[in-house]
Structure 1
Amino acid sequence: MSSSDIFFGEILGTAVLILMGAGVVAGVVLRKSKSYGAGWIVIAFGWGLAVMTAVFIAGPLSGAHINPAVTVGIALDSGEWGDVPAYLAGQMLGAMLGATLAWLAYYGHFQAHLHDAEIIAVPEKPAHPGPVETHRPGPVLGVFSTAPEIRRPVQNLTTEIIATAVLVLAVLRIGVNEQLQVTALGGLIVALVVVGLGMSLGGPTGYAINPARDLGPRIVHALLPLPNKGSSDWSYAWIPVAGPLAGAALAAGLHRLLF
């Protein structure tokens, strides 16, 4: 496959991934959505189905890495780095495009949700007597990127490393199995792994397990003219980038050592 196929395939695949993934989160958390309040299981399955759809669409063009951690893990395992820049550039652009499309699809719901009197009060309510906390994350940041339930950087980083290592190790095993490479079964397995990770390890951090999935939409969140959106939480943003990349390196090392 050519560099241009890889670049445009990753834009397309990652855009579909984020459109559907951010879309399911928006449907669950935004008021006046028909799926409002559907819960974490719906979000985990939604992200898994988003992965399956993205792999099915972009696979013939780029192999559908749709995740810098996957790209880096494969490169570390194989030693082939020539196409890595095309993969990473396509993934970041695709993630930003997908987040923008999700915003457009739910535009009216974002406006209705964030103009709600209860929501408007949240960013301006101090947690304790003293200055107002204008830096705190907004009420819809989770549609675009991840955030920990308990903010402990070492634990949060460790969770992302472990979860991503499982994902990348599964991808590497599929990559060496010719029967899975040539069928849709490989994409389905990866999708189910993502669902399983969401249910098992998604609770602490929201399981980014994909640097582009978190950083690209976070940039879009910072740029969009959303009312009362609050901070994009840049102090946390390094964890869903560094954690998955470290997890990918761990998975590649284990794969070379054990298989």
Structure 2
Amino acid sequence: MEISLFTKLAAEFVGTAVLMVFGNGAVANVELSGTKGHKAGWINIAMGYGFGVMFPVLMFGGVSGAHINPAMTLAQAVNGMFPWSLVLPYIIAQLLGAAVGQLLVYAVYYPHYQKTEDPEAILGTFCTADAYESRTNYFISEFIGTMLLVLGALCCLELQWGSSNYAAASIVVGFIVWGLVTSMGGPTGPGLNPARDLMPRLLHSLLPIKHKGKSRWNEAWIPVVAPILGGMLGCWLFKVLFAI
């Protein structure tokens, strides 16, 4: 049965929203004042992002491919693995899904946002920032992290073992994200996904949150451009080295 474009876009929209709810929801639970999970630690956040990727891939991998990430969509298109005619619709669905997912996090944690006085903690529940205050480090971290994410995800989902057991491959992809956030997330957060950073950053600048501070737009291009370029390299490595 052929899947309609509307259904594919709905899958990308909902899948990206789920990613935001689990990922940035975990950050909000750890960082915002007065939550049950306040100061629960980095492992809690990494687990949230891992599940935030695992579940959409399980839910929608067979519908849209569950890119849930403009970097993945563009990487596959550039390397001839995805039709260019679907790139813009997919990215729009992902951006809108990221915005809705972040709004759900904001709604759930609204009283805690109002209670939190640390602007960096608030910003961290929306978008990324480099811990070392270095744009070079910011770029390198997001580039390498997304390269490994895309390479790992494609190896799991596209090679023979994964394509014959998609559910198992989807679970492994979630663990890849969990591992990446645990091992390489210290410098930036990380983002590894332009939609996951750009739309929440926009909402951070618009929503009425006390003590929220600046949205740091002067560096907002980094978690957009670096993941896109890193994803393209990761996809190219997969195609050259491993694609059958």
TM-score where L is the length of structure 2? 0.92
Q: Which residue of 2 aligns with 1:195?
A: 178
Matched, 1:237 2:240: no
Residue 18 of structure 1 corresponds to 20
Q: Say if 2:217 is the partner of 1:215.
A: no
Q: What are the Cα deviations for residues 33-72 of structure 1, in whole angstroms up to 9, with x where unaligned?
A: 0110011111111110111122223334312111111111
Q: CA deviation at 1:256?
A: 2.8
Separation (CA, whole Å) in 1 of partners of 2:49 and 2:96: 19
Structure ranking higher in helix proportion: 2
**1:44 corresponding residue in structure 2:** 46
The 4+ residue runs of structure 1 with deviation greater than 6 A are none
The aligned counterpart of 1:85 is: 88
Measured in 1, the distance between the counterparts of 2:104 and 2:15 equals 13
Corresponding position: 1:149 with 2:149: no
C-alpha distance in 1 between matches for 2:87 and 2:134: 32
> Could you list the runs of 5+ residues in structure 2 that have no partner in the other structure?
none
What is residue 163 of structure 1 aligned with on the other side?
Answer: 145
What corresponds to 1:109 in structure 2? 112
TM-score by length of 1: 0.87
Contact 1:70–1:171 (Cα < 8 Å) also in 2: no
In the alignment, which residue of structure 2 is the partner of 1:53? 55
Does 2:235 match 1:258?
A: no
Alignment check: 8 A CA contact 1:157 1:240 kept: yes
Instruction: Kindly state the Cα deviation for residue 172 of structure 1 after the two structures are TM-superposed.
Output: 1.9
Would you say how many aligned residue pairs link Structure 1 and Structure 2? 238
Q: Which has the larger radius of gyration?
A: 1
Displacement of 1:197:
0.6
The structural deviation recorded for 1:81 is 1.6
Is 1:226 matched up with 2:209?
A: yes
Preserved CA contact (<8 Å) 2:157 2:170: no
CA positional deviation for 1:138: 4.6
